[in-house]
């Protein structure tokens, strides 16, 4: 991942950007830097990620976004100078459509990932949305779809944002249905 530096950025924002460099993610998760939001904070970084075991767009399992906002003067709603904003979206199996625990399970993917990566934070808030799409008429050949979307934001406790990036990556891959990989274990790539 190539995180670009903003000229004359404050030292804390520079430190945060540097902490995001050089991390190895799962091979199924492909990251790309995108233009960040410009009106929310004076400094920002945005990454998008796609969970796909191959290069075929039809095999995409999920996607997400990781945004870092920085205001050197702080913002009252954030209770700090930084804010991390994440989103993960994935299509689920049809049997999850009516599961009353789906929202809590989706939220636990986030909180468990933050705990597993020892990401220090406060002021966590967010939503888990379930979307059930049913098709009719000329689209009857296509079956219904169940989609989950997890949106959250929090204030990190330090400028080291690496644990927060890894937490988002873990949550996004879990939402997409990939099994967790223990630390210090590399996933095997399937033979083609």
Please report the pLDDT score of residue 45 as a whole number.
97
Please report the pLDDT score of residue 31 as a whole number.
95
**Residue 189 near residue 37, CB atoms below 8 Å:** no
Higher pLDDT, 59 or 136: 59
The pLDDT of residue 15 is above 90 = yes
Which helix (H) or strand (E) covers residue 65, if one does? Answer: strand 62-75
- Averaged pLDDT for residues 94-107: 83
SS (H, E, C) 72-100: EEEECCCCEEEEEEEEEEEEECHHHCCCC
- Written as six digits, the tokens of 112 are 């468990």
**Residue 33 near residue 67, CB atoms below 8 Å:** no
Percent of the chain predicted with pLDDT > 70: 85
Number of helices followed by number of strands (H, E) in the chain: 3, 6
- Written as six digits, the tokens of 135 are 């098709």
The pLDDT of residue 137 is above 80 = no
What rounded mean pLDDT belongs to the chain? 87
- Written as six digits, the tokens of 16 are 């945060």
63-86 pLDDT per residue, tens: 999 999 999 999 999 999 999 999
């Amino acid at each position: 991942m190539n995180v670009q530096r903003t000229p004359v950025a404050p030292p804390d924002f520079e430190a945060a950007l540097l902490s995001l460099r050089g991390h190895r993610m799962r091979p199924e998760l492909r990251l790309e830097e995108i233009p960040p939001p410009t009106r929310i904070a004076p400094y920002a970084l945005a990454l998008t990620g796609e969970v796909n075991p191959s290069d075929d767009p039809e095999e995409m399992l999920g996607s997400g976004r990781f945004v870092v906002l920085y205001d050197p003067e702080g913002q009252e709603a954030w209770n700090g100078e930084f804010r991390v904003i994440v989103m993960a979206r994935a299509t689920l199996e049809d049997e999850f459509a009516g599961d009353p625990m789906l929202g809590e399970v989706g939220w636990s993917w986030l909180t468990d990932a933050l705990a597993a990566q020892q990401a220090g934070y406060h002021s966590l808030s967010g939503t888990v949305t379930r979307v059930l799409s049913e098709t009719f008429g000329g689209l009857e050949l296509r079956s219904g779809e169940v989609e989950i979307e997890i949106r959250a934001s929090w204030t990190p406790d330090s400028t080291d944002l690496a644990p927060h990036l890894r937490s988002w990556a873990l949550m996004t891959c879990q939402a997409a249905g990939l099994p967790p990989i223990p630390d210090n274990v590399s996933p095997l790539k399937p033979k083609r």
